[in-house]
């Protein structure tokens, strides 16, 4: 299969590190013009440099903006008058006892993980439907289906994102635009490494800590290891391409078999 996005422009939110950076790299490798996003201009500049090192000659747009605000979304609309692929990757997570999660934290998780995606979709979907082609992808999580006891506020936000994806897919029905969510399983990123050490002995070497985390806290995984960000990015690149034209309204799993279900 050849994934060709040479005529397309893509925005990946929260793409200065981790899964977002891997997705930006994969889309750039497929030929897309990629807007790299983060709140800090310095971090965005470093991420642009990192993608360029991996994909020499990549067409990149430095898109520093806080997408959790209306002002940030307006800035991106000015930078990207035409957008073909929107990847809502930005998200926050962290462990907290269920009864200790404050109203403010519940709202913050919804604002960042859900409403930012809704706001961006609302901004860019009309242009896609008018042109008759587009891709909206929301990066969800296995936690949307298997709610973790140690972070139910995060699980809630990702469950909501699945509903948002399905709903906007119906809004775009018959237009040539697809809207999907990607259920990412436990993935190795800097933030996840910190999270692992919140739950297991900090004195353990990383490989041993990872195995202990998967054994104690993610025993359903069939991979028995953390997923690499590039493995998530490969699925996103496919779903962003013309090859995935018949996939919409779906929650596509890249979870290492973590969700114990034979239905996607």
User: Does residue 264 surpass a pLDDT of 80?
Assistant: no
* Structural domain contains residue 204: yes
Contact 62, 48 (CB under 8 A): yes
Residue range 45-61, pLDDT digits in tens: 999 999 999 999 999 99
pLDDT over 90, % of the chain:
91
* Structural domain contains residue 263: no
User: Which band of pLDDT confidence, cut at 50, 70 and 90, is reported for residue 228?
Assistant: very high
Are 158 and 206 contained in the same domain? no
Q: What letter would DSSP give residue 187?
A: B
Contact 8, 86 (CB under 8 A): no
Contact 62, 45 (CB under 8 A): yes
For the stretch 121-149, what's the b/e string if a residue is b when 16 or more beta carbons lie within 10 angstroms of its beta carbon?
A: bebbbebbbeeebbbbbbbbbbbbbbbee
* Structural domain contains residue 262: no
Are 21 and 54 contained in the same domain? yes
Residue 85 φ then ψ, to 5°: -130, 120
Domain at 180, CATH number? 3.40.50.720
Residue range 79-96, pLDDT digits in tens: 999 999 999 999 999 889
Residue 42's domain comprises 9-187+229-254
List the structure tokens of 219. 């025993």
Are 121 and 195 contained in the same domain? no
* Structural domain contains residue 1: no
Are 127 and 216 contained in the same domain? no
* Structural domain contains residue 148: yes
Are 18 and 44 contained in the same domain? yes
For the stretch 196-231, what's the b/e string if a residue is b when 16 or more beta carbons lie within 10 angstroms of its beta carbon?
A: beeebeeeeeeeebbeebbeebbeebeeeebbebeb
Are 28 and 144 contained in the same domain? yes
Are 136 and 200 contained in the same domain? no
Number of domains in the chain: 2
Spatial distance between the Cα atoms of 198 and 196, rounded to a whole number of angstroms: 5
Q: Is 109 a known active-site residue?
A: no
Are 179 and 249 contained in the same domain? yes
Instruction: Look at 6-15, 47-56, 186-195, 218-227 and tell me which has the smallest mean pLDDT.
Output: 186-195
Are 214 and 181 contained in the same domain? no
Are 23 and 150 contained in the same domain? yes
Contact 44, 65 (CB under 8 A): no
Contact 86, 138 (CB under 8 A): no
Q: Say which of 154, 197, 238, 258 is annotated catalytic.
A: 154
Are 233 and 249 contained in the same domain? yes
pTM: 0.94
Over residues 175-188, mean pLDDT: 96
Are 39 and 58 contained in the same domain? yes
* Structural domain contains residue 261: no
Q: Between the CA of residue 9 and those of 125, 135, 216, 229, 241, what are the distances in Å?
A: 14, 10, 42, 21, 12
* Structural domain contains residue 15: yes
* Structural domain contains residue 118: yes
Residue whose structure tokens are 């353990």: 204
């Amino acid at each position: 299969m050849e994934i060709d996005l040479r005529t397309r422009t893509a925005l990946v939110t929260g793409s200065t590190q981790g899964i977002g950076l891997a997705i930006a790299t994969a889309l750039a490798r497929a030929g897309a013009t990629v807007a790299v996003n983060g709140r800090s201009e310095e971090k965005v500049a470093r991420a642009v440099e990192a993608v360029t090192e991996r994909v020499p000659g990549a067409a990149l747009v430095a898109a520093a903006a806080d997408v959790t605000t209306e002002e940030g979304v307006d800035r991106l609309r000015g930078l990207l008058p035409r957008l073909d692929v929107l990847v809502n990757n930005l998200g926050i997570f962290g462990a907290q006892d269920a009864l200790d999660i404050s109203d403010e934290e519940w709202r913050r998780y919804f604002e960042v993980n859900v409403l930012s995606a809704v706001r961006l979709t609302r901004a860019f979907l009309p242009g896609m439907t008018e042109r008759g082609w587009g891709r909206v992808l929301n990066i969800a999580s296995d936690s949307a289906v298997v709610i973790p006891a140690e972070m139910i506020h995060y699980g809630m936000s990702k469950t909501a994102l699945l509903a948002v994806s399905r709903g906007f897919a119906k809004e775009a029905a018959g237009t040539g635009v697809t809207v999907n969510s990607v259920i990412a399983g436990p993935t190795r990123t800097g933030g996840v490494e910190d999270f692992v050490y919140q739950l297991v002995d900090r004195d353990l070497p990383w490989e041993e800590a990872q195995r202990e985390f998967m054994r104690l806290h993610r025993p359903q995984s069939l991979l028995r290891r953390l997923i690499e960000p590039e493995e998530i990015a490969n699925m996103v690149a496919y779903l962003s391409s013309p090859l995935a034209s018949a996939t919409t309204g779906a929650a596509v799993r890249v979870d290492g078999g973590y969700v114990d279900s034979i239905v996607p």
